Chains A and B, each alone.
Chain A
Amino acid sequence: MKSISITLLCLLLSSLTIQLDGGAASIEDTCKAAAAASPVINYDFCVSTFLGNPKSGSADTRGLAKIAALTAINHASNIKIEITDLLKKSPDPAIKSALNQCFRLYDSMSFTLANAADAINADRDEAAKGFLKTGIQEAEDCAAALEKAGKASPLTKGNSDSVELSTMSLAILDLIAKKPSDHDDMMIRAVLV
């Protein structure tokens, strides 16, 4: 019983502090908190990512986590195109093989991150975090494959951006764990679809 009352007390206290928030989450505050939570996340990159999406303006914290995941999906599509171009230019079979592996990884990542976005929508945060971690692993596996092929990776920035976007989504979900009030805003997320 004691642990339940403590939990309820914590929820009560955090909900009281959250009363001060408006409906939409502040991009700057969210990015500040996310950057503080993870060394992978750069504040400016985080802010500019959200500013680049017109839906961020009215999104709550959960909505921002979803936008980060969707941005990562779009980024994965861009990387696939980049890989296609690189494959045309590169004669080296070792690099080609690594690039093909990267293509498969980024293709899979689109589905992984789509699962993450759907899980975020459904308030299945633990599942979402699992998918995001898998997405991060897929980018890291690509980086490792290219490193093994021995040449300087042409996808370094692409891979690190991918990791950063997925990490942003993860970190923001962790912020929500401390702010249960956002559970009320399922309506907003639903219509963001």
Chain B
Amino acid sequence: MDYAPIPSSPSSRPPHRSLKLLSFSLAAILLTIVAVLNGRYRSGTSPEPVIHPTSPLSRGPSDGVSEKTSGLGLLRSPSSHFPWTNTMLQWQRTAFHFQPQKNWMNGFLPSSSSLFFLFSNRFYRSLMFCCLFVSLARISMDPDPNGPVFYKGWYHLFYQYNPDSAVWGNITWGHAVSRDLIHWRHLPLAMVADHWYDLNGVWTGSATILPDGNLIMLYTGSTNESVQVQNLAVPSDPSDPLLLKWIKSDANPVLLPPPGVGPKDFRDPTTAWYEEEAAAWRLAIGTKEDEGHSGIVLVYQTKDFLTYELLPGMLHAVAGTGMWECVDFYPVGTKAEDGGLDTSVTTGEKVKHVLKASMDDDRHDYYAIGTYDSETARWVPDDPEMDVGIGLRYDWGKFYASKTFYDTKSSRRVLWGWIGETDSEYADIQKGWASLQGIPRTVLLDVKTGSNLLQWPVEEVKSLRAGSQEFTNISVSSGSVVPLDVLNSAAQLDIEAEFEIDAASLAETLEADVGYNCSTSGGANRRGALGPFGLLVLADPKLSEQTAVYFYIAKKTDGGLQTHFCHDEMQSSCANDIYKRVVGSKVPVLDGETLTVRILVDHSIVESFAQGGRTCITSRVYPTEAIYNSARVFIFNNATGARVTAKSIKIWHMNSANIIDSRSPY
């Protein structure tokens, strides 16, 4: 094994010319003055990760990319985006995540390579456009998961879908089905905006399965006047396991914003749960209350899903957190053998309830564990300091609008999350798609800590594993990088790694490092005594690009240890028109535990799960060099005072899970 020292600084693009540097400095100084004068910060938001502006402030067209390099036709305006080639963009599509369909055009379904060639070549574009098939080039974006449910043998996923553009708009319900949560088949749109009460969008909703096995869907419609209302829809043929067609109730809208709630602050109804005492169903809807800028949850009660009673008060509220979108509310068992629980399980000391919401203000999903009281319809967090919106997140990277459902087939609770893009709008238009779903995860209470959830990729992901390699007992000395000899492309991987840091280093009296925070840490190159160390994925052989997945152990003032788990995206790509951050959080490590991490690498998405899923991070990365056969995996140890042992690293190559398009005639 080669133990190469870690390069002290990454290779980068050619340095700025001095004029650009001067104008950048002047602009920075002016901005600083303005910031100092202003001194206003948003209240109630958690500290944001460091976001490095990816393009210098005054980069004119003369410094930007030439039209020829980017392959764009002369019709397009000059810009200063990175010269993405079709090869680079095509590589970004994931192999086993759920994402919107590829472009298609009237009359034929080209392969993606011919498609990009056609779009990039001006002659062919003109040819296409003047001829028979003026293209109906459908490009698409695919955010919020909706109404996930298991019904008559099929997993259903609906999702907010714009069939016409890679930006938000024309929102309909896309629909896909699967037997195993991994292999999907696209179906026709389930619902479109065709009534006054959802004319401006068929927005997010949830499915509830009734005791007789029937299914109802409640969703938010944005009316013709952009008022948010709740609507009821049912399958037009309940015996159709594919649930192709839906009927909207004549009674719609069944819920209007109540007094005191703004018309734009009333959306995303949850799955309903049944209350024995009340002999009725309840569901929750998030909103906000302006005075304290509080996120709040309202509870409605109904027997028939047509008429509702707003229960007095609120399920819960947290001041300063702003509007709560995509609220989710579900029980978790407190014993290891419990498994997932049906949404309607409400009673007993053996059950805790998770309240989750997507914070509109900071675009992160937060959850908290607490206790629900059926009688008062109130929920109280176990730890008010870790309340919704101010405490734990499902995921410390790019992850939003998530929703769980109870999978009756496998008796587990499964979590879907929307993963947006962190590249430029331009690149999204160029590549013709935006957003995907994270890998579905099971959700359980961590019975060992009692204070966090465990999320883990569903077991079915393992069915894609093909060919594994195992590396054991690799000792990585301080300040070194070890390449792993991963056969074939390292763009589709499932990695399970276990690390140990030498006992002597841990025992030494070192300075306390209480201020460590992934976001402000400076990332994988900022060395501490006991970290960072971990893996570099989507790294090219020269390490000019790398995505670091790492642990950092900080000593606390009482001599105890606090482990942090982070992703460093800062060197994930040489491109400068994308968002690159260092993200992550603390991860509980109990006595006797080694450090473990599972990483799913699937082209432009990296998802990792530390300590069995106590802390999870999703990153979108867009390498320009570490793609195709140039992607590699390395172990690294950037700690100054410790030797790290990778006790075991198992790497599986992952097959693709081709999504079948049942809408195409071919």
Contacts and interface: CB of A to CB of B under 8 A. Distances in A.
B336 to A, nearest CB: 36
A114 B428 contact: yes
A112 B361 contact: no
A77 B48 contact: no
Interface in B308-331: 322-323, 325
Given A23-B361, A134-B77, A74 B203 contact: no
Given A15-B34, A84-B136, A111 B165 contact: no
Interface stretch (B405-413, B418-426, B624-632): B418-426
A58 B323 contact: yes
B136 A53 contact: no
Contact of B34 (A53, A181, A187): A181
A191 B359 CA distance: 12
A184 B40 contact: yes
Contacts of A161: none
B71 to A, nearest CB: 12
Interface stretch (B127-135, B174-182, B464-472, B533-541): B127-135
Contact of B360 (A57, A74, A181): A57
Nearest to B201: A52
B222 A52 contact: yes
A186 B53 contact: yes
A105 B201 CA distance: 27
Given A54-B264, A118-B81, A74 B162 contact: yes
A57 B265 contact: yes
Contacts of A122: 53-55, 57
B267 interface: yes
B164 interface: yes
Contacts of B134: 83-84, 87, 100, 103
A124 B130 contact: no
Contacts of B170: 74, 78
Contacts of A177: none
Given A74-B169, A81-B136, A122-B54, A11 B34 contact: yes
Interface in A1-55: 8, 11-12, 15, 18-19, 23, 48, 51-55
Interface in A107-160: 107-108, 110-112, 114-115, 117-119, 121-124, 127, 130-131, 134
B169 A110 contact: no
B139 interface: yes
Q: A interface, by DSSP: helix, strand, loop or mixed?
A: helix
Instruction: Please indicate which of the listed interface residues B54, B75, B80, B425 has the most CB atoms of chain A within 10 Å of its own CB.
Output: B425
Contacts of B579: 190, 193
Contact of A73 (B55, B72, B425, B430): B425
Contacts of B72: 111
B75 A104 contact: yes
A90 to B, nearest CB: 11
A73 B167 contact: yes
A64 interface: no
B424 A114 contact: yes
A54 B169 contact: no
A88 to B, nearest CB: 8
A71 B613 CA distance: 38
B297 to A, nearest CB: 17
Given A15-B38, A118-B81, A104 B425 contact: no
24 contacts: A11-B33, A15-B34, A15-B37, A19-B38, A19-B40, A70-B168, A70-B169, A70-B425, A74-B162, A74-B168, A76-B165, A81-B136, A81-B164, A87-B134, A103-B134, A111-B76, A111-B429, A112-B77, A114-B424, A115-B425, A118-B425, A121-B425, A191-B48, A193-B421
Interface of A: 8, 11-12, 15, 18-19, 23, 48, 51-55, 57-58, 70-71, 73-78, 80-81, 83-84, 87, 100, 103-105, 107-108, 110-112, 114-115, 117-119, 121-124, 127, 130-131, 134, 180-181, 183-188, 190-193
Given A73-B425, A74-B162, A187-B51, 13 more contacts: A53-B168, A57-B264, A57-B323, A58-B322, A84-B135, A112-B77, A114-B425, A114-B426, A124-B59, A180-B38, A181-B34, A191-B363, A193-B421
